Amino acid sequence: MIDIHKSLVEIMGDEHVSTGKEELYFYARDPGLMPAHEPDYVVAPETTEEVQKIVKLANKEKIPIVPMGAGMSLTGLIIPLKGGIVIDMKRMRRILEVNEKARYAIVEGGTSQGALKAYLDRNYPNLRHSIPDAPPTVTIAANVAIHGQGRLTQMYGFNSDMVSGLEVVLPTGEIAKIGSCSMSPSWFSKGPTLPDLSGLFLGWLGTTGIITKVGLKLYPKKKMRDVELFVTDREDLIPEILFRLTHTEMVEDITAWFQAKPLIFQGNHHVTLYITGDTDEELEFKRKMVWDSLKEFRDSKDGGFMWILPAMKPTFLDMPQRSVTTFADVKKGGGFEYSGPIALIEKYPVLARKLVELGAKFKVAYSGMARVIGRSHAMMFGIAFTFNRADPDMMERVRKALHEGITFAFDQGGIPWKPTVEEQKMAMERMDPNTLKLMKMIKENLDPNGIMNPGNWKVA
Amino acid sequence: MEYEEIVHRCFRCGYCKFTEDYHDINCPPYLKFGLDTYAAGGRMWLINAWLNHEIETSKHYAEILYLCNTCGNCKEHCVFTFKDDLLNIFEAAKAELVEKGLVPAAVKDYLQGIIANGNPYKEPQNKRGRWAEGTGIQPFSDQEFLFYVGDAGSYDESGKKMAVSVGSILSEGGLSIGILGSKEKCDGNDVKALGETGLFAKLAEENIRLFKEIGVKKIITLDPHAFNAFTKEYPKLGGKFKVWHYTQVLAMLVKDKKIPLSGYELKVTYHDACYLGRHNEIYDPPREILSAIPGLVFAEMKRNRKNSLCCGGGGGNFMTDVSGLGKDSSSRIRVREALETGAEILAVACPICYKMLDDAVKEEGAEEKVKVQDIAEIVHQAIRS
Amino acid sequence: MYTLKFDENLCATCQTSDCLVKCQFMDMESEAAHREMMKIVKGEYSSVLHDCKTCYACEEYCPRGNHPFYLITERREEKGMLTASRAITNQWINMCEPQGKYKVGEIKGKALSCCFIGELRRFARGKLFEDLRSSYILGPEFFCEVVYLHFAKPSIIKERLPKVIENIKQLGIKQLICMHDECYGSFTSLAPAYGMEVPFEPIHYFEYLFEKLTDLKGQIRPLKMKAAYQRPCSSRLSPDKYHFVGKIFDLIGVEMVKREYQEENALCCGEVLRMVAGYEVANEVQKKNIDDMVLSKAEYCVFNCPYCEMALSEKVSKKGIKPIHIIDLCKMAIGEK
């Protein structure tokens, strides 16, 4: 009978392996609402080779493994539903390479968004990546693995669309290179023009392998960045507003959002949009295009641009935006969770109305937000509630509100984003049976022993 | 437990782990172990679990709490409104363990040393002022300033060296200073940080009584930890004195040209001590001193000022050595950072930083490349040159 | 119910119609101006109701004190006309709604009003304010409400301003130093125009500053600088206090540069214009104003209103002109900055 703990210590050293009650407690849960489930071991490897050894051991002994970044998906994706080994990837946090002319970076499986941003700011000030508003600790690998979105999503798609290569440790322990890096020293493509195998690992919630390296596309960073805020009291106008803004092709990120408090936001829908430029002329030209694109709404008084006071601007220009995180403490309770279905933008009004209804029905504080994906190809509609962690009744009400919200979103033709186990089941119930068959086939072939984050994307 | 109504509000978002621009991880125990339980968010969640009886007191729980260096990086960079109470919460949680007698052995040892000997070195009280022999620095009677040296300055080898260089430079600068010598007692700053609030109160009250009895009005401290205690905690117990850290006074003397500086042609980088910098926002005086020295080339480390990486000696770890000196210890990382600047001297303003970084230089095998010196030592060198 | 004290006859017999003839945004001869004004008086539609940019200047231009701009605002609301969008209008109505979150210091008979602008509280430091710093009011409960003129919502003013006045009265304040120019205009022009009694003496902070500086004359080191003065829209409600700017400047050794857009011809900061009239108008006004400052070789642009300061500071800085609030300028003169 193999001593798993001893084997893990041999791989990583005893400082980075724990079976302590404290680690088991902490890594059994995330800051969202999903029920906890303890792992048996928590480890923090530093190299791909260490990860490989852990996976081989787990595969041999049929122990579940759950890779995790910062654990901020809030939907329980890193909760080890069947126990086993939680692999905290964050010690693997180096930035390995930046190819300035080809505009890509290669980072490790635990490199944080914040570290990459800071590194680029200091060393490549003309390059940026699509940073999400999640806390800066969230990892690049986890973010692309769950098809996250960021500040460049309106321009270039999901953050996973910006992957330019992967190194993965397969559930059976092999290390595979995905994309151009599989046959070239350069990481400029995640698949095309080879068969695109990245799809085997992106969106699978850690059930098909562990990403140990990510190639990530970088984009031009202009010297100046500014923000405009268009406000309307008519949610039904939002789709058209977003359509016209995206038509200009002048805008960086576009989000539409609404919340009941504070009073300054009450009753209105806000479209925050960012423009960038290397010169005043470029910036002002883009600003003019943006203002002109919404002239009809301004003239009819259906909407107008808000004066963002200098004291407010840093909050909007912050990357990541800290106010997204501090929403968690609105109820002085350190909790928030959201469902973020991806849907057609034309569904914004009906989803917005639903969210307000849910807030009233369940007496919970809400915040609604939609991030435009691509040129209005879709939106991520965030159904977010904040709760007090010390109030179990409030937490239960939020759970119910989220369930009702996501069900409604699916009814409106939406698809889930970083779904909870329950949401995964709901999605699979609605899915084409052949699609499900394909998913099952892929999982069973890649992970014959079913060790990778079991319980997730569990096709019946 | 005091502050327990706040503990559940932590979102474990991790802002607390980083520097301001997210460039580096800046929490020493998290750097070393790489497990979230060792960062501020982990500690908060564990304290909350302990309060809710979801976990029990254990050796590991105590170890996690006592591994905190109280460097204040979490307090500086947390985005929530309760950030200013983070260290208070950790202290309160430790106080709970102290009350139950469940502290790690090394911490118990430290505290017992202070109870029995008045210092954690377990050295006799009457040896306390011996560092001053041959310096000409007199016992305090009616001088303008009390030069308060502290435990490290009285007993640790590097600390004593620092005490001599600081004491003599202040005298040379024309200041009227006196010391307590064998009457000096532990300031209690780290005792409080370890959760022994009762012992801290006793030490503080004794010190305040003594200072008042002998007519102390103005104090210059060697150690930023003492500076912190005297400025932040002692006034709450009735001890209101005018307090400076020695670098503040030395900066004034240099500015007023009371100390003639010839030159010191070396490249120097400066390590911001947590209790001088982050805790008390004193960043400029040491830099002003260094900038005033002809020929000295000053180079900032990547992590500086409020983003300084703690040497790992705070929270009593300087004596308890709970975290050890592995390659991921913050003191060794700090030395590597100093080496990156090309500096030949790593300047410090705290005897605890001095000891921690000096040991780390040796562990890194970098004695030929960089030397640790305190600000006053550098000024001495600049005079002699 | 408060109604605007407006005398039809004064308009009907006005020979100059200066209110509209002098308007910087409408090009009208006297006859046309009189005609349009009479339409407004009679409650009919006039192009003025659409074209007025809410700069307040006609309140000053009217030689008979007959409140043409307040009338335009009333007519707009009667006709359901908006200046800014509905959403922005509602935003401002919500933003300044009293919610029980305010600050009151240790009130003596004399107190500082900081409106609901935190910046004004921060200004109130140093020798110029040492006697009064602790006696202050700050918060929406003490907000002057004048901004709703920009949004054509006099109903909000009529609803909230009496309560503000009552709140101040309840605190026993006899003399109120208005740190916000607009507050002074509210209590000395707007409130009386609607028949609201003001049971305390509003004092413009310019007057207070001038007195204090005179007391501290021995400590003044002349600044020897050239400055442009940015006159806020609200200053049109209290033109009798404008001369204090020149007096303060003289006392502290600042030369007010001669420029085209000053005094009666001054241009507003333009940011509210952006909300009510659009991007191009606002930019044009700001450009004219700042180019004028540059042409007149101003080294500093001195602000009275914190909102003007927020609107223009960065823009004047880009043109090499240093922005500064008049209170900070005075502090500089007595060696405090």
Contacts of C among chains (3+ CB pairs under 8 A): A
pLDDT at B280 over 70: yes
**Nearest-by-Cβ selection for A232 from C87, C272, C278:** C87
B-contacting residues in A 170-199 (Cβ below 8 Å)? none
**Res. A335: pLDDT tops 90:** no
Percent of chain C with pLDDT over 70: 100
Partner residue opposite B12 with nearest CB, options A31, A119, A121 = A31
The model's pLDDT over A225-237, given as tens digits with 9 standing for 90+, comes to: 999 999 999 999 9
Q: Give me the pLDDT at residue B88, please.
A: 97
pLDDT at A337: 87
The dihedral over CA atoms of B122, B123, B129, B135, expressed in degrees to the nearest 10, equals -120
Q: What percent of chain A has pLDDT over 70?
A: 100
- How far is A388 from chain C, CA to nearest CA, in Å? 23
Pick the range with the lowest mean pLDDT from A80-94, A153-167, B214-228, B250-264: B250-264
Q: Judge: A301–C99 Cβ closer than 8 Å, yes or no.
A: no
What average pLDDT does chain A have? 96
How far is A212 from A108, CA to CA, in rounded Å?
6
Q: What is the pTM of this model?
A: 0.93
Interface confidence, given as ipTM, is 0.94
Number of A/C CB contacts below 8 angstroms equals 63
Contact A88 B22 (CB under 8 A): no
The DSSP secondary-structure symbol of B131 reads G
Q: Average pLDDT for residues C260-284, to the nearest whole number?
A: 93
pLDDT at site C1? 82
pLDDT at residue A334, as a whole number: 76
Whether C218-333 and C93-208 are alike in CATH topology: the answer is: yes
Q: Do C90 and A305 touch (CB under 8 A)?
A: no
Q: Across the strands, what pairs with A65? A: A85, A452
Residues B66-93: b if buried by 16+ CB within 10 A, e if exposed: bbbbbbbbbbbbbbbebbebbbebbbbb
B with C: touching (≥3 Cβ pairs within 8 Å): no
> Kind of pairing, strands A95-99 and A127-128?
unpaired
Q: Using N-to-C axis directions, what is the helix angle for A280-293 and A238-248, rounded to 10°? A: 140
- Within the 111-170 window of chain A, which residues sit less than 8 Å (CB to CB) from chain B? 112-115, 117-119, 121-122, 135-137
* Alpha-carbon gap, residue A53 to A55, rounded angstroms: 5
Is 80 exceeded by the pLDDT of residue C63? yes
- B17, B42, B79 member nearest A326 (Cβ): B79
**What is C93-208's CATH number?**
3.40.50
* Distance from C-alpha of B206 to C-alpha of B212, rounded to nearest angstrom: 10
For residue A309, the chain C residues in CB contact (below 8 A) are 310
Contact status of A315 with chain B (Cβ, < 8 Å): no
Average pLDDT of the residues in A344-361: 97
Mean pLDDT of A176-201: 97
Kindly list the residues of chain A whose beta carbon comes within 8 Å of any beta carbon in chain C.
231-233, 263-269, 287-288, 291, 297-298, 301-307, 309-311
pLDDT tens for residues A440-460?
999 999 999 999 999 999 987
For residues A149 and A164, is the Cβ–Cβ distance under 8 A? no
pLDDT band of residue B371 (cuts 50, 70, 90) is very high
CA–CA separation, A449 and A61 (whole Å): 10
pLDDT tens digits along B284-331: 999 999 999 999 999 999 999 999 999 999 988 877 776 676 888 999
Q: In this structure, what are the phi and psi dihedrals at residue A338, rounded to the nearest 5 degrees?
A: -145, 150
- A306 vs C88, C99, C279: nearest CB: C88
Share of chain B above pLDDT 70, in %: 99
- Comparing B101 with B385, the larger pLDDT belongs to B101
Nearest to A288 among C275, C279, C314 (CB): C279
Give the whole-angstrom CA distance, residue B344 versus residue B371.
6
Nearest-neighbour CA in chain C from A156: distance (Å): 29
More confident residue, C292 or A327: C292
User: For position A386, what pLDDT does the model report?
Assistant: 87
Chain A residues with CB-CB distance to B15 below 8 A: 135-137, 322, 325
For the stretch A111-126, pLDDT in tens is 999 999 999 999 999 9
β-pair partners for C177 = C112, C203
B-chain CB neighbours of A136 within 8 Å are 14-15, 18, 22
Q: Tens digit of pLDDT for each residue in C136-179?
A: 999 999 999 999 999 999 999 999 999 999 999 999 999 999 99
* Nearest-angstrom CA–CA distance, C329 and C300: 10
Give domain C218-333's CATH number out of 3.40.50.1860, 3.30.300.20, 3.40.50.1220, 3.40.980.10.
3.40.50.1860
Is C85–A304 a contact, with Cβ atoms under 8 angstroms apart?
yes
Mean pLDDT over each residue of chain C, to the nearest integer: 95
Predicted local confidence at residue B322, as pLDDT: 66
**Domain ranges for chain C:** 8-78, 93-208, 218-333
Cβ distance B35 to A16 less than 8 Å, yes or no, reads: yes
Q: Which residue of A has its CA nearest to B323?
A: A15
Whether B147 and B222 have beta carbons less than 8 Å apart is answered as yes
Per residue in C1-36, pLDDT tens?
899 999 999 999 999 999 999 999 999 999 999 999
Give the residue-averaged pLDDT of B160-188.
95
Tell me what pLDDT residue B384 has.
Answer: 72
Q: For position B385, what pLDDT does the model report?
A: 66
Of the candidates A289, A304, A299, the residue with the CA atom closest to the CA atom of residue C274:
A304
Measured CA distances, B100 to A68, A96, B103, B302 (Å): 36, 48, 8, 42
Three-state SS at B95: helix
Contact at CB, C97 and A263, closer than 8 angstroms: yes
DSSP-derived letter for residue A25 is: H
pLDDT, position B323 = 65
pLDDT at residue C52 tops 80 = yes
Rounded to 10 degrees, the C-alpha dihedral A344/A348/A352/A353 comes to -100
